[in-house]
Amino acid sequence: MNGTLNQQVLVLNRLWQAVNLCSVRRALTLLFEGHAQVVAGTPDGDFRTYNFSQWRDFSDPASDPDDVVRTVTLRIRIPRVILLMFFDRLPRKEVKFTRHNIFERDRNTCQYCGRIFDRRDLNLDHVIPRDRGGPTTWENIVCSCIPCNTRKANHSPAEAGMRLVRKPKRPKWRPFVQVSYGAPIHESWKHFLDIAYWNVELGGETS
């Protein structure tokens, strides 16, 4: 029973955005108290919400035994996704400063010539060179193709006669739930979940 109650449930806020994971035990408590409803798919590909009594009635006695929680007086199907009724905020998070996320921000585009490249053919460039005091930050790192990177060398863009396609900025956070690689992902989550791409935060190894 404890193993079942400790399984993970995807939590959506009132705007149907994935914001957290909780245990089945916590999900059933929120459902019973009226703070959440279960979200479940329908045969036609839609989604329907159920309050506690509706979900209890929906728990078909023929359900897979491994997919239900039993008490002395109750038999209820495990909810896989719940919707919070009174919460519409997003957790405060920042986009990790990683090589992958810089490529994402710049859309695999050299920020000097404007051409799109395979990531294997792109470098990360300090706009203001490091030996001029240029920091390794969102605002000073851009994607650069190898020819542009070679041309710019250890100069500022102005000194190299080059211009940035756009000014580099810290990107806004895109909602996602932190799920580690190897963690089980339930099929019903995939419609709502944008799995984060984990990578080591960048240090000073960029050019």
DSSP letter assigned to residue 168: -
Q: What is the CATH number of the domain that holds 139?
A: 1.10.30.50
pLDDT of amino acid 90 = 57
Give the model's confidence band at 144: pLDDT under 50 very low, under 70 low, under 90 confident, else very high: very high
Most confident residue range from 6-15, 74-83, 151-160: 151-160
**Which domain does 142 fall in, by range?**
94-172
Residues 75 and 12 in one domain: yes
pLDDT of amino acid 117 = 95
Residue 117, C-beta contacts closer than 8 angstroms, at least 6 positions apart: 108, 109, 110, 145
Q: Which of 176, 175, 168, 164 has its CA nearest to residue 137?
A: 168
How many helices (H) does the chain have, and how many strands (E)? 5, 9
Residues 103 and 135 in one domain: yes
Mean pLDDT, rounded, for 195-204: 42
DSSP letter assigned to residue 81: E
Residues 104 and 156 in one domain: yes
CA atoms within 13 A on the CB side of 123: 17
Residue 69, C-beta contacts closer than 8 angstroms, at least 6 positions apart: 1, 4, 5, 24, 28, 75, 76, 77, 78
CA atoms within 13 A on the CB side of 187: 2
- C-beta of residue 203 within 8 angstroms of C-beta of residue 136: yes
pLDDT of amino acid 123 = 93
81 falls within a domain: yes
Mean pLDDT, rounded, for 119-135: 94
Residues 138 and 81 in one domain: no
Residues 34 and 108 in one domain: no
Residues 83 and 116 in one domain: no
201 falls within a domain: no
- Percent of the chain at pLDDT above 90? 44
Single pTM value for the model: 0.51
**Would the pLDDT of 155 be above 70?**
yes
